[in-house]
Amino acid sequence: MSKLSRAWSKLRWSLAQRGLGGTLRFALERARRQPNRRDETKPRLHPFDERYGVDTGGLIGGGELLSGHPNDVFNTAYYGMAPSRFQRVMEYWIADQTHAALEDYSFVDLGSGKGRAVMMASGFSFREVVGVELHPALAGIAEANVAVWSADGRPVCPVRIVCADATQFVFPDGPCLLYLFNPFAAPVMKRLVERIEADFAGRAGMLDLIYFNPEAGHLLEAHGGFELLWTGTVAMSEEDRVVDLVASAEDICSVYRWIGR
């Protein structure tokens, strides 16, 4: 991609995400900060990556995640989920779910990025764990991470990465647990809901959805086919807090169940 095409794609993303006024304000703020960029310190490597020899760190803005797909303008950003938060919400969900055995569920991470959540999920006895990522480079990093993770014998279930559009992914048969760390904006979420309607027609109660930072959660709550099981904050460990550049104590997580309509 040429520099001009890349700049145009980033501008389209900013206009879609921030609007014209927000784009102008962002550009002015960036220009103001430009002389001070040398003073910025390099973020610490996350303990998760240090501990397991993988690469899941970094903050990549949505405007940088260019794959050539029309949905690029609706990317939010890449950032790895705090492991302590993931563990706590999974423990909550496992304790609360009653529809089927854990071993019957497929875990599907939509917008799986570098695969941190996929690797953590593979430590639970799911039927399988699938990471779905639109951006080829991120999907490639995730595959390399999963290879390291698997070579160390950490997964207790099958795990795979699929480079694909989340709205075109065909969900596995049987019960599914979807996981989203606010990967895309409302227009893509709307199409995802349509995909869920198609794939889970006649499978009421066989889909749960964990949605961190649920900016498009209003679409699920207004739909009629989803039941809100729980919403609230999830505590983060001190280890995660000291290296996390993005998360705050007020971040919300919501858990939904497909009940059909």
pLDDT of amino acid 42: 53
Q: What is the pLDDT of residues 120-152, one digit of tens each?
A: 999 999 999 999 999 999 999 999 999 999 999
Residue 261 has what pLDDT?
77
- The CA–CA distances, whole Å, from 15 to 74, 203, 233 equal 10, 38, 30
Residue ranges per domain, the chain? 1-40, 83-258
Quick one: CA dihedral 184, 189, 191, 197, positive or negative?
A: positive
Tokens representing 103 are 């071993």
Q: Determine the Cα–Cα distance for residues 249 and 84; give it in Å rounded to an integer.
A: 13
User: How big is the chain by its Cα radius of gyration, in Å?
Assistant: 19
Asked if residues 122 and 156 have their Cβ atoms less than 8 Å apart, the reply is yes
- The parts of the chain modelled with pLDDT lower than 50 are 1-2, 4-15, 18, 20-28, 30-31, 37-41
What CATH number matches the domain at 83-258, 3.40.50.150, 3.50.50.60, 3.30.413.10, 3.40.50.620?
Answer: 3.40.50.150
Q: How far is CA 91 from CA 14, 36, 69, 143, 248, in A?
A: 37, 43, 35, 26, 21
